[in-house]
Amino acid sequence: MESMTIFPASRLARGEITLHTGRHQGRDVLIARGDGPASVGLTGGQPVGDAMVYPADYDNMLVWERQLAPAPKLVALNGAGYPNGYGAGNRIVVSRRDVPDLREPSTLGGWDGIYRAAARSAVPFWFIQQSIVRELIPEGVNPDDYPGIGHTGGYGPRELLRAGLFAYASLGGYGQPGGYGQPGGYGQALPIGADADHAIIIGRDEAALQASLALNKLALDESADYTKFTVDTSHLFGFTVTLSAAERRRLQGAFFGRRFAVANLLPGRAGFAFRYDEETIWRLGHKYWRACAVHKEIYDHVARLRAGRPFDYELSLDETPEPTAPEELFFYLVLLRDVMGVPEGGVASAGPNIGFIKRHDFEGDPQRELEPQANACASILRHFGAMLSVHSADGVRAATGKGPGVDAALLAATGGACELKVADVYQEVLWQVLAASDDPAERELFAESWRRTHDAVRLLAQVYRAELAGMTHEQAQKLLSAPEGRAGVAARHGAEGLRWALGAIGYGLPVFALAAQLVDVTDPARPDPEAELFRRFMFLPYRALRGPLFRTLTRAGWDRLADAVDEATMIRLRAMGWA
């Protein structure tokens, strides 16, 4: 069939009808052959030769998942009883806008390598995972109003889910289990999850908080068919509140005079006990009140969206200056359940700060520091029926995970009852593969990414030194959110300087200080995909390079990337005893 690419592993049979996923005339499509193809429940079909070809749009991919497949594969994994798993944050993603640009129409943009590992894994994958208000752009917002978001591709939560389900179907996820490419089928025995990751509520005053809530609720509305919702309210720690007499009584009743005992999740190990004096109750109650109240509001919003369908709700607590104190993690969870009214078992998982820094290896002693912290946090979460989620699990390089001995310490601390969330490693692997390629066009694409990244970091360093050094994060945000502040930065550092500053401020003022530090010690004439400057800031120009990436890579290039992504994933699975 003219210009038709068919993914053989996607084959489904429905009576006399055979269905495949494919690509046709620059579109993702679903192809039905046989008697009565109009009866399969898909919409928008057009006859092409002996087939009926349907758009692989959002609604049709849900029909494939929920009605055409032998069984749905997209589930709330923790709610279904899985105590561990792997979150694979693929950011390469061939969106519907990218399909016409593909030099190689059979690529599935990194998901093939992830799928290979998932098919050999003993634990399920959150196969679809990106930050819905940092990496994605909700369809219902004007991107110009939020210049710091959408750096992975300019698509929204619905398109990520559509593209992820299309890739999963195309790779054979709905077929009979038998191992990737092995006799007996391509299918995967375990279900998958979709994580609407890292909804981030910010604001140091009520007006800013309400604006952030509105954006995040819009993104959540567009994520209603995801099965997991990860929400970060840590920016609200210390938000000024005045508690009413009734609220004070609720707070006091939950903690005053009580001693809490927590068993260790590992048999034979000592448990934990917590008691809070009156001063600590008021101090922690005020510190966490607004953050927990917003969690209850968001939890209720998600519950309405899901309308009775199961979902997992995860707390993101890791973007704090210091590791999460176990006694404060326990307090936080009691506050959510017993004071705010989040239902028993409503929190499926949480990602406390266990000492990890994004894109850095763990810098402490894995046995003496990481293992006790992870064990305490995992035990506390188990007490509430929840799982430890290890955020920022990417390290300096794929071959060493988060650093030597780290995964062994996590395994020893939890018995493997946790989730690893990774994302940066897949982008890093992409550029490493291109930098080492025999194809001059692929090497040049990496060189262009290096140049753009270095230029962006140079401008961030200039903005930091001239405008932001000495400010608090709140002061810097205020400057870059005010029209006159933006105009001043643009006048002194150009439109590009302002653009990169707006793109980076959501990650905090330390990112600017890091740019100033690294630009002075990085030689722009020596491109290196493992250079710290490149690893930390390659996300800034990535979106603009997606078109050239898809127009450049050949089948051989995509195959090398799939092999590297597969191996990077298997390294972590093997280290955690999951493969």
For 469, the token pair is 């050094």
Lowest-confidence range among 86-95, 173-182, 431-440? 173-182
Cα distance between residue 132 and residue 135, in whole Å: 6
Give 183's pLDDT tier (boundaries 50, 70, 90). Answer: very low
> Which amino acid type is present at position 331?
F
pLDDT per residue over 16-29, tens digit each? 899 999 999 999 99
Strand 85-88 to 418-422 pairing: parallel
Please say if the pLDDT value at position 158 is more than 60: yes
Residue 421's pLDDT is: 96
Residue type for position 446: F
With 50 as the cut, is the pLDDT of residue 181 above it? no
CA distance 84 to 414: 10
pLDDT at 506: 80
With beta carbons less than 8 A apart as the criterion, state whether 84 and 419 touch: yes
Could you identify the residue written with the tokens 């089948």? 555
- Taking residues 460-485, report their average pLDDT: 92
Structure letter (DSSP) for residue 343: P
Q: How far is 308 from 122, CA to CA, in rounded Å? A: 29
349 phi and psi, to 5 degrees?
-165, 165
Query: Could you write out the DSSP letters of every residue in 281-305?
Result: HHHHHHHHHHHHHHHHHHHHHHHHH
Q: Which residue has the higher pLDDT, 183 or 395?
A: 395
Q: How far apart are CA 426 and CA 329, in angstroms?
A: 31
pLDDT for res 481: 84
pLDDT at 37 (0 to 100): 54
What's the full length of the chain, in residues? 579
DSSP code of residue 70: S
116's tokens: 């290979």
Contacts from 267-276 at CB under 8 Å and sequence distance 24+?
269/375, 271/379, 272/326, 272/330, 272/376, 272/379, 272/380, 274/326, 274/327, 274/330, 274/331, 276/327, 276/331
Dihedral of the alpha carbons of 319, 292, 313, 473, in degrees to the nearest 10: -20
Burial class (CB in 10 A: 0-12, 13-18, 19+), 277: exposed
Write the single-letter amino acid at 96. R
> What share of the chain has pLDDT > 70, as a percent?
97
Q: What is the arithmetic mean of pLDDT over 334-341? A: 98
Q: Is the pLDDT of residue 502 over 80?
A: yes
Give the mean pLDDT of the chain: 94
pLDDT bracket for residue 185 (50, 70, 90): very low
- Write the pLDDT tens digit of every residue in 343-395: 999 999 999 999 998 878 899 999 999 999 999 999 999 999 999 999 988 88
Dist. CA 35–CA 77, nearest whole Å? 37
Long-range Cβ pairs for the range 19-23 (8 Å, 24+): 19/64, 19/68, 21/56, 21/166, 21/169, 21/170, 23/99, 23/102, 23/105, 23/106
Please state, in angstroms and rounded to a whole number, the distance separating the CA atoms of residues 377 and 383: 10
Nearest CA-CA partner of 77 in 382, 265, 311: 311
Nearest to 350 by CA among 277, 394, 299: 299
Q: Nearest to residue 230, comparing CAs of 421, 478, 10?
A: 421
- Give the amino acid at 144: D
Q: Give the other-Cβ count within 10 Å of 180's Cβ.
A: 19
Q: Are the beta carbons of 310 and 285 closer than 8 angstroms?
A: no
CA gap 105, 428 in Å, rounded: 23
What pLDDT band is residue 182 in, cutting at 50, 70 and 90? very low
pLDDT at 260 over 60: yes
Q: Residue range 57-84: average pLDDT? A: 97
Residue 186 has a pLDDT of 53
> For 35, left (φ over 0), alpha (ψ -120 to 50), or beta?
beta
Amino acid at 212: S
**pLDDT-based confidence at 180, cuts 50/70/90?**
very low
Domains of the chain with bracketed CATH: 69-436+565-579 (3.20.20.70), 440-553 (no CATH)
Query: Tell me, what amino acid is at 101?
Result: D
Residue 74 DSSP one-character state: B
Residues 420-436: tens digit of each pLDDT: 999 889 999 999 999 99
Q: What is the mean pLDDT of residues 501-514?
A: 89
Paired tokens of 242: 């005045």
Q: How far apart are CA 149 and CA 502, in angstroms?
A: 9
Question: What pLDDT does 179 receive?
Answer: 44
Q: What is the mean pLDDT of residues 170-175?
A: 94
> Helix and strand tally (H, E) in the chain?
17, 15
Rounded to an integer, what distance in angstroms lies between the CA atom of residue 355 and that of residue 368? 12
| Adjacent-strand bridge partners of 85 | 419
Q: Are 352 and 392 in contact (CB under 8 A)?
A: no
Q: What is the pLDDT of residues 286-334, one digit of tens each?
A: 999 999 999 999 999 999 999 999 999 999 999 898 999 999 999 999 9
Order of strands across the sheet that contains 46-48: 4-14, 17-24, 27-33, 51-55, 46-48
C-beta atoms surrounding 470 within 10 Å:
7
Q: How far is CA 77 from CA 73, 81, 172, 347, 502, in A?
A: 10, 7, 20, 13, 36
d(CA 402, CA 355): 11
Q: Is there a contact between 420 and 121 (Cβ–Cβ < 8 Å)? A: no
Residue 367, token pair as written in the block: 């046995």
CA atoms within 13 A on the CB side of 283: 6
Residue 36: pLDDT band (50, 70, 90) is low
C-alpha count within 13 angstroms, C-beta hemisphere, residue 578 = 32
Nearest residue to 251 (alpha-carbon basis) of 186, 169, 334, 172: 334
| Confidence band for 14, pLDDT divided at 50, 70 and 90 | confident
Full-model pTM: 0.95
